Structure 1
Amino acid sequence: MIISLVGGGGKTTTMFYIGRYFAKRGKKVVITTTTHIVKPDVYTLIDSAKELEKFEFRDEPVVIGKDAGEKLSSFDIIEVQSINKYADIVLVEADGAKRLPIKIPREGEPVIPENTDICIVCMGIDAVGKKISEKCFRYERAAEIFGWDEDHILSEEDAARILTDKRAEFKGINNRKTLFIINKADTKEDMRKALETEKYINIFCEKNGFKNFKVSITSYNNNREFCDFEFLA
């Protein structure tokens, strides 16, 4: 199974949390990227997926990539698409957002492997109530897609539009099984915003005829970690 993560805030934290969960349960788990990820304490530099054939998997995910200084970068996309021959679960960070909570991708983004089974679309709820120019990566694309200028204040409805629009964070999903994750719901007000955003996600997905999805609300600061593992099974 290949799971690709796109969007904004919380991708890396969520990816490692999911990876560790399955690795602790005896699955062979690989974490990699089609863009860049920050180097963890332990990682493996490889040039081809076949190098994993005789790899000894343990109870932690194996993080692989190519050395790019402070980060790991992707190797050839064809190799990424071959990793599932040697692992039970492959988690791919397929997008970058410069640590901002929400994103509108440009041409060529995100870089989702063709054989991805499940997509995870992430956002941080701290984007809501703030200027789009402050909290959205590539916010300038919002003018073309949604007609919003740089001073536009993002509402819960706006966030849901970004998450579900095929020109924005739903770009390249192609109706794959999808999990929307709303991160950083740390306070009661954050949770209220997250639930309101979830409501609009449901409305827009229904309007677009998309049914194979789920919304998960998390707070890694307040012990509300990701728990919808059955949806990924």
Structure 2
Amino acid sequence: MIPGIDPDKDRIIATAGAGGKTSFLQHLASLLQQSGRTVLLSTTTHIYHPDVDGFAGRVDRVIRCSDPEELYISRPEPASITVAGMACEDRQKLSGIPATLPAELIRRNLYDNILIEADGSRQLPLKAPSDKEPVLPDGCQVIVGVTGWKGIESPVSAETVHRREWFSAVTGLKAGDRVSPEALSVLINSPVGLFKQPHLQQSAHYFFEKNSFEKKSSAKTPCKKIWLLNQLDSQKQQQAGRAFALEVLAHSPCIHTTLLSSFSQSYPWLERIKNTSLYGLNYDK
């Protein structure tokens, strides 16, 4: 199973960020299904229909809802994957289910695990969330913050960063700058960065004004945070990613688990990396 995730306890898992959210959730869904669990893969924003993104062959059923209560009616088969979302004008996509729905589906024991893609990135490798993102589901226990290596090894630009003005406001990086470990640690640790959790805050509102953020609320107990550094598709990139991640972790004590990954090959590659300042050097493939 994925390091840092306990399927029996972590029943609602969401992804945010950019550079591999869908690939990670599809991989996790497959692992959970293979272990005999009943899985729902959905979104609170938009996802591609599995016929479009190539996941259809591993999905047991797809539900395009006109009413979210349709998900209460049809009980899934054991050890299966359901992909569900609301009907969308774009037939290639599914729109988001209500953020309150996953917790109710778990309460009714319809699914063992529910996986939610909680924001969009227009297939770019880096982003910072807007004031309305991510749309995390109620009862979320784990948030996996994803960053793509392609954005780290390239200068900041409109071609590498989604919502670049928000990204610049959080990190201080301008167009043409390189993403340093220090800058990425700011993105990870900022209350309006990669692990922003508005659904766990009282009257959560963040205002974006003049390249700065102002917090208007106090936080409740946060989700478990897993950082996924994806798109490490070669041995050279994996080596560079390990070194980069260790530098980031030296400034990011809030991270529960850090994972390095590549989903570009037939067999996904995944490795856990521990913060040397806390644990000593340790990689788990």
TM tier, shorter chain? 0.7 to 0.9
Is the aligned partner of 1:145 residue 2:170? yes
1:56 aligns with 2:96: no
Higher percent of residues as helix: 1
Paired residues of 1:3 and 1:92 also in contact (CA < 8 A): yes
List 4+ stretches of structure 1 deviating above 4 A. Answer: none
Give the structure with higher Rg (CA): 2
Q: Which amino acid in 2 is paired with 1:78? A: T
SS at match of 1:82: helix
Q: Match of 1:32?
A: 42
Rounded to whole Å, the distance in 1 between the matches of 2:240 and 2:182 is 10
Q: Does 1:110 align with 2:110?
A: no
Percent identity of the aligned residues? Answer: 22
Q: Which residues of structure 1 form unaligned runs of 5+?
A: 229-233
Give the letter for the 2:169 counterpart.
Answer: E
Cα distance in 2 for residues equivalent to 1:60 and 1:225: 23
Contact 2:170 2:190 in 1 (8 A): no
Q: Distance in 1 between matches of 2:124 and 2:185?
A: 16
TM-score of the superposition, structure 2-length normalised? Answer: 0.72
Letter in 1 for 2:269: E
Deviation by residue 1:154-206 (Cα, 9 ceiling, x = unmatched): 23433333233222112118632121111111123311331133213322222
Contact 1:2 1:115 in 2 (8 A): yes
Structure 1 length normalisation: TM-score? Answer: 0.86
Select the residue among 106, 118, 126 that pairs with 1:84. Answer: 106
1:176 aligns with 2:223: yes
Q: Distance in 1 between matches of 2:104 and 2:245?
A: 34
SS at match of 1:72: strand
Deviation sequence 1:83-116 (CA, Å, 0-9, x none) = 2232110000001100011111111111111310
**Partner AA of 1:111 in structure 2:** V
Structure 1's 160 and 28: CA in aligned 2 closer, same or farther, altered over 3 A?
same
8 Å CA contact retained: 2:155, 2:176: yes
Conserved in 2, the CA contact under 8 Å of 1:104 and 1:142? yes
Secondary structure, aligned partner of 2:50: coil
Segment of structure 1 superposing worse, 56-65 or 93-102: 56-65
Runs of 5+ in structure 2 lacking a partner? Answer: 1-10, 57-61, 199-220, 273-285
Counterpart amino acid of 1:205? S
Per the alignment, do residues 115 and 108 of structure 1 end up closer, same or farther by CA in structure 2, a change over 3 Å counting? same
Whole-angstrom distance in 1 between the partners of 2:149 and 2:83: 28
Greater RCO structure (CA 8 Å; 6+ sep): 1
Equivalent pairs, count? 224
